[in-house]
Structure 1
Amino acid sequence: MEYNRFALIGLNVWKRLFARKPAMLGQDWRTMLFGICMFHAIIQERKKFGPLGWNITYEFNNSDRECAMLNLQMFCEDGHIPWDALEYITSQITYGGRVTDMWDQRCLTTILKLFFSPPILEDDYKYSLSGTYYCPRADKLEDFREYIETLPVIEDPEVFGMHDNANIAFENKETSTLIKTIVDVQPRASGGGGGDTPDQIVWRICDQTRASISTKIDSTLVNPDLMVPDDMGQLHSLTTVLLHETDRFNTLLALIHSSLNELQKAIKGVVVMSEAFEEVFNSFLNNKVPALWHKKGYNSLKSLGSWIHDLILRIDFMEKWLMDGIQPSSWVSGLFFPQGLLTGSLQAFARRYRVPIDALLFDFDPIPMFLSQEDIYKQNKRKKEDEPDVYQNLVAPEDGVNIHGLFIDAGRWDMKQNCLVDALPGQMNPPLPVVRFYPVLELPKPDPRYQAPLYKTSERAGTLSTTGHSTNFVLPVLLPTNMPSDFWIIRGTALLTQITD
């Protein structure tokens, strides 16, 4: 871990600062120096956990640590410790100057409190619950070095404030990288051994995909009630969202079917195999979604087979909404632009109650029931009138919207307590129950709930689109919990609209 390099590098800075320690601070001075070094080691090593550690990978380096130490010396020269100034400069400037994601900044500031705040000066303070990690009460530099050498070679996730499942996420990431590397360097099979040739495999995938995916969503089947304008002559905001989403899906479906036809022509030799269709061909062989489809599609990290099945579920959800109107609960994960559904809900509320939309916020009410879009899809296909309703008498609210299909990253939902609790071992992305999103003018203060960022995919990081929205982040969701928010922040707990597979 980074603290082993700190034993060789960080202590070189200590040698100078030990000799120039501010008057009257004594052990407090050494504790603060050690805290900065531990903080630096922790934020460096969190990178290995991928998005659970940081949404974006940052290149913190030794100059950041040395700058933080020199700032500490400068501010404490008179023997007084100005904690507010030190914490702000360290988290917002020295290290925070590299951080570009607001949720990473929140995490950085919270981690700093564990290693560099007034409580660390208490005699029995420990950096983690195990008690393995702490600042030794020692006067000599060599004593600190000896303590560092006793620390575990393979660190436990708890020193990072993370669940044991974080190691599983790390190992999965490493395995995926290894497999991808092997696949990339593996020569293409020719089919000479009696198996199917690459051309035959891709041809079959084209046929299967074409047979399973609709050519379009027929917007002429829209429920007439959805097209009734209000008193101001405007369609309901959610109807507008529905029509826009339908257009996006039809654009994607048209591209999929045209590219399948062109690819099969290229395989037959009727047309030239262009570079774009060569990429589609290779993607099919590697069970990946072609870049051509991704460009017109939605954020997803799924493999080709899972992506196609997910698209089938999305089409079914859209057709049901189109023909029957808004469902008791909306599958926000099935939309190109989830923010559109939420903004449409706010706009409908603003029109109804004559309030400015920019004055509205969402509050959240978890409903103790789980809904699976897979189950809803299967029931829609069976069309049995005597079958119990999968929605279990849930009704769409007059104000706001019920949402299902979200997943929890680094946590789980306790149905008895109806709140967020720590994850079970090996349980990576359990579902979140149905949540009612309803507009309010203000939220309660102080609010003990955890502000969980909602992302479209587990990649978390995104870029700003032309609309000014992140391509991955949706909005923060407030979740009730019995644990302090800092616990979840350091855990890296977030919500996802979809999981990888």
Structure 2
Amino acid sequence: MRMTKRMLSISLGQGQGPVAEKMFIEAIEMGSWVFFQANMLRAFTGQVVEYSDFISSEKPKVSEFKWLLFSLCLFHGVCLERRKFGPLGFNIPYEFTDGDLRICISQLHMFLTEYFDVPFKVLTYTAGQINYGGRVTDDWDRRCIMNILGDYYKPEVINGQYNFDESGVYHQLPEGTALVDYVGYIRSLPVNDSPSLFGLHPNADITCAQSETFSCLSVLLSLQPRSVGSAAASQEDVTFHLAENIISQVPKPKGKEAIEQIQNKYPVLYEESLNTVLVQEILRFDKLLVVIHHSLTDLQKALKGLVVMSDTLEKMSNSLFTNVVPKMWASMAYPSLKPLGAWVSDLQARINFINNWINGGIPPSFWISGFYFPQAFLTGCLQNFARKYVVAIDSINYCFEILQQNP
């Protein structure tokens, strides 16, 4: 066995104890190696203000310390603000704290006073792999942080004319700038930072704005009154009738026997890949319909007091009342941003499209967005063409023609 397969590593960040223990036990049983990357956190309660005497002194490397200190604080702010972009910022929203910044400042001061030259490799490793990296559990996030840190811990930043972004809004201050002037400059920075500062495309603001909008609307929906007027129905009554209406509107699952009959009608054929696509679509939609009908039936029983109202059913009830697709359904369904009413109508249309295919054979035209998994349909069409004309599927692709009028 190669050494790379026997060598495992893990960052001992928050919540990683049980994972590290399990990995350690498995390594003992299999004879593998485990490399634990631990946080070198130590007691540090000081703030940047504690270094004001050093900053205002005439000791050597004061200017280097101020420039690197400002660069490090900017890096800390970038790491915190990238979380608002969701997965575009980090795969996991890590809770970086002021303690991470404080220990980095302490190490920066210590290494600058002990080394003749600025030890960028040491500073980068301690900050990126240990202090901040100790909280990071995703390999891609660790790689991202190390690349970001490389823009703030490098020789070029030790310059009063250095700009951190293309616009020049974020820049180093001239040598000899007092601590008070640094504070004043930081307060003058824009409230809404440009995505370019975080290394992101300007369109990343759209994702951030959408996330904030959805969060605000979700809070507003949760705050709306559960009843209107003295004669209005309660939330339980509204939810019960809504569940009853959805059950009557959404088709029931086909079941195992019906699916087997469809498979016999549309068997797996070498020359017709769309048969396989159809059966796969039926299986996917059937699983979704099973979840919908079972959950609605359980919810009605819970509202009547026949079964216990679980946390999942309560969340589902709140989603139905606020016209939001329950997460239980969304996790089993195709991607959609529609509200509950439009989502149910769209589901009916998709099921009708599949049923028309079953009853009438392969249609002359297809509703591509009506598929549960459109990629399977597109691949199936490529397979049919490749097998008919005996060409490699990797050598063909789709081309598009813009029509002047509807066909």
Q: Same fold (TM over 0.5)?
A: yes
Of residues 69, 78, 100 in structure 2, which corresponds to 1:33? 69
Of residues 227, 250, 261 in structure 2, which corresponds to 1:189? 227
| Structure holding more helix per residue | 2
Find out whether 1:283 has 2:319 as its counterpart. yes
C-alpha RMSD over aligned residues: 5.0
Match for 1:67: what amino acid? Answer: I
Cα gap change, 1:137 to 1:105, in 2 (>3 Å): same
Q: Given that residues 285 and 372 in structure 2 are in contact (C-alpha distance below 8 angstroms), is that contact kept between their aligned partners in structure 1?
A: no
Find out whether 1:15 has 2:56 as its counterpart. no
Of residues 283, 290, 304 in structure 1, which corresponds to 2:340? 304
Structure 2 counterpart of 1:213: 250
For 2:171 and 2:371, locate their aligned partners in 1 and report how far apart those are by CA, in whole Å: 43
Q: Deviations over 1:1-27 (max 9, x none)?
A: xxxxxxxx853254366489995x564
> 1:260-339 counterparts in 2 under 5 A?
260=296, 272=306, 274-276=308-310, 279-290=315-326, 293=329, 303-309=339-345, 311-312=347-348, 315=351, 324=362, 334-335=372-373
Find out whether 1:257 has 2:298 as its counterpart. no
When normalised by structure 2's length, the TM-score is 0.61
Cα displacement (A) at 1:33: 2.1
| SS of equivalent to 2:151 | helix
Find out whether 1:63 has 2:99 as its counterpart. yes
For 2:372 and 2:177, locate their aligned partners in 1 and report how far apart those are by CA, in whole Å: 60
Structure 2 counterpart of 1:92: 129
Q: Deviations over 1:366-412 (max 9, x none)?
A: 967599xxxxxxxxxxxxxx974xxxxxxxxxxxxxxxxxxxxxxxx
Of residues 23, 26, 43 in structure 1, which corresponds to 2:79? 43
Q: Can you give the 5+ residue segments of structure 2 that lack an aligned partner in the other structure?
A: 1-45, 388-393
Q: Deviations over 1:261-303 (max 9, x none)?
A: 5656777x6x737415555443321112335545755777764
| Structure holding more strand per residue | 1
Cα gap change, 1:156 to 1:333, in 2 (>3 Å): farther
Cα gap change, 1:242 to 1:71, in 2 (>3 Å): farther
Q: Deviations over 1:418-450 (max 9, x none)?
A: xxxxxxxxxxxxxxxxxxxxxxxxxxxxxxxxx
For 1:303 and 1:17, locate their aligned partners in 2 and report how far apart those are by CA, in whole Å: 59
For 1:364 and 1:98, locate their aligned partners in 2 and report how far apart those are by CA, in whole Å: 45
For 1:265 and 1:123, locate their aligned partners in 2 and report how far apart those are by CA, in whole Å: 70
Cα displacement (A) at 1:132: 1.6
| Higher RCO, Cα 8 Å, sep 6+ | 1
When normalised by structure 1's length, the TM-score is 0.51
For 2:202 and 2:251, locate their aligned partners in 1 and report how far apart those are by CA, in whole Å: 43
Q: Can you give the 5+ residue segments of structure 1 that lack an aligned partner in the other structure?
A: 1-8, 353-362, 372-385, 389-501
Q: Deviations over 1:116-144 (max 9, x none)?
A: 22332355321122212111022244364
Question: Sequence identity, in percent?
Answer: 30
Structure 2 counterpart of 1:381: none
Cα displacement (A) at 1:54: 3.4
Q: Deviations over 1:354-373 (max 9, x none)?
A: xxxxxxxxx999967599xx
> 1:65-464 counterparts in 2 under 5 A?
65-76=101-112, 77-122=114-159, 124-142=161-179, 144-149=181-186, 151-152=188-189, 154-158=191-195, 159-162=197-200, 169-189=207-227, 192=230, 198=235, 201-202=238-239, 205-206=242-243, 208-210=245-247, 212-216=249-253, 219=259, 220-222=261-263, 227-228=268-269, 246-260=282-296, 272=306, 274-276=308-310, 279-290=315-326, 293=329, 303-309=339-345, 311-312=347-348, 315=351, 324=362, 334-335=372-373, 388=407
Cα gap change, 1:185 to 1:387, in 2 (>3 Å): closer
Cα gap change, 1:44 to 1:72, in 2 (>3 Å): same
Q: Given that residues 21 and 73 in structure 1 are in contact (C-alpha distance below 8 angstroms), is that contact kept between their aligned partners in structure 2?
A: no
Q: Given that residues 302 and 309 in structure 2 are in contact (C-alpha distance below 8 angstroms), is that contact kept between their aligned partners in structure 1?
A: no
Q: Given that residues 223 and 324 in structure 1 are in contact (C-alpha distance below 8 angstroms), is that contact kept between their aligned partners in structure 2?
A: no
| SS of equivalent to 2:161 | coil
Cα gap change, 1:156 to 1:368, in 2 (>3 Å): farther
Q: Given that residues 350 and 370 in structure 2 are in contact (C-alpha distance below 8 angstroms), is that contact kept between their aligned partners in structure 1?
A: no
| SS of equivalent to 1:227 | coil
Cα gap change, 1:198 to 1:78, in 2 (>3 Å): closer
